[in-house]
Amino acid sequence: MLCAAIPADELHLIGGKIVTGQITSDTPDFIKIQTDQYGELSFPRNIVEKIVKAPVSTATQGPTSGGSPTPVSSPSGGLKIMRPTAASEEILSGYDAVLFGVVKDVYVKPEGGDWMPGAENMQLRIKDELRTGQGKVKVTLRGRGEVRLPPNSHMILLSIDPQGDKVTIELKGGRIWNNITPGGGVVNYTIKTPDLVAGVRGTLFKVSLDEGERSRVAVFEGSVYVTDQLGKEITINPNLAVTSDKEGKISQPLSVNPDEIKEWTEWDQWALEVHQQIASRFIVGGQQIDAMAKLAAEDGKKYDQIMNDANRQILYNKEAERIESYKNAFTQFAQDTGILPPEQLGFAALIENPGVPGWKGPYIKDTTLPILDRWAQPIKYVMKKSGTSGNEFGEIHSSGPDRIYQEGKPGSDDIRAIIPYYQLGIPK
């Protein structure tokens, strides 16, 4: 009597080694596989190139339709909807996108299905969700370029038309980089957040969504148009960014820090270095796996440091934009009332009318005093006088990440905005 061979899972390690058996545990950090020859082995996820799951037997899953795998109930109550992987970074017929450059923990959730680990060259369809923990991933879209999802981000591939010319992606959290190829004809590529829609008139741009669901769009090449909830549209040119306020209104474009693009450019450099360092053969159960895992961990720390530095700079830039908005509010107060806001009242004069004719506030949305910066230190408003000209001017400042105010000395991380009241022609 002949027995049918039991299908085996395949674990493809970076370097070409393939381990076969039954995967017993799959976590964001490690994958365990039960093998006939070596027993149960455990591999760090960052040395796993891809996972090829054994096909589900038709005897247990029921009939199939059109060659597509039938969904199987998962323990969490959802559906385990299978997603194939290709032999290369190609998009298979019937699919809309493909993952590549998968690093650390990346997860895919088909519509109506359950979350599953993302793998190299895994195929995606519209309505699929994609999220990252400490990992990151690149996505090639059918007919429209490349998307990158950094750590701690979450997107939904809402729609792609049959020609791949019209694409809509929803950003649920974190950040998304978009490098879009206009090609011929009309470009119709949009990123949606809860409070704005960003559409392409160019190529390289990033959309971010913070915990307060305030959105930011930064453009590095070409141009992007942004529409807020009120229907206002603004075009953003290279090296500029806009943010949305709590009501969904778009700010005026402000310059982006040149270092912000490092998250894009150093992504490829980091990936290349990692592949070069761990592109040797693995000895199953031997010391070489431990050594390669250590290298991968060290490279992970290097990448995390790059990301942390970039994120700190982004936060610094956001706070500078906020300080600038307060400067504009004090300026508007002075223009409306014809007087300089007294230092002793400070921000309170922007929130409630101090009894001044012409007051048209509130000029800011903050209602709690003192107003704190993102490092939990008070933002100060002071009046000063030039020792040379005698002109009076206002200054708003934050002590910055180090929480030590150094009056803007070179090398300090103070954030300051000067309000030149003397230019408004208001009498003293």
Q: What is the pLDDT of residues 364-413, one digit of tens each?
A: 988 888 899 888 889 999 998 877 777 888 999 999 888 888 887 877 88
Tell which residue, 149, 182, 178, has the closest CA to residue 166: 182
pLDDT of residue 308: 61
Identify whether the C-beta of residue 117 lies closer than 8 Å to the C-beta of residue 156: no
CA dihedral 308, 312, 315, 316 (to 10 degrees): -170
For residue 379, give the nearest of 348, 412, 336, 334 by alpha carbon.
348
**Contact in structure between 356 and 339 (CB atoms under 8 Å):** yes
- Do 386 and 399 touch, CB atoms closer than 8 A? no
Tens digits of pLDDT across the chain (428 residues): 333 344 678 888 776 677 888 888 877 667 888 877 666 777 777 777 788 877 644 333 333 323 333 333 333 444 667 788 877 778 888 888 999 888 878 889 888 888 888 888 899 999 999 988 878 888 988 876 788 888 888 899 998 887 777 888 888 888 888 887 655 444 578 888 877 787 775 567 778 776 555 788 888 877 787 887 777 788 888 888 888 876 778 888 888 887 777 777 767 665 554 444 433 433 434 444 455 555 555 655 665 565 566 666 766 778 888 899 999 999 999 999 998 888 999 999 999 998 899 999 999 988 888 899 888 889 999 998 877 777 888 999 999 888 888 887 877 888 988 888 877 877 66
Give which of 227, 234, 151, 142 is closest to 193, Cα–Cα. Answer: 227
Q: What is the largest CA-CA distance in the chain?
A: 105
Is it true that the peptide bond before 258 is cis, omega within 30 degrees of 0? no
pTM for the predicted model, two decimal places: 0.47
Cα 170 from Cα 154, distance rounded (Å): 9
Q: Indicate if the alpha-carbon torsion angle 80, 85, 89, 91 is positive or negative.
A: negative
d(CA 319, CA 379): 11
Distance, in Å, from the CA atom of 239 to the CA atom of 190, rounded to the nearest integer, reads: 19
77, 200, 240, 335 from 219: Cα distances, Å: 41, 10, 6, 33
- Rg for the chain (alpha carbons), in Å? 27
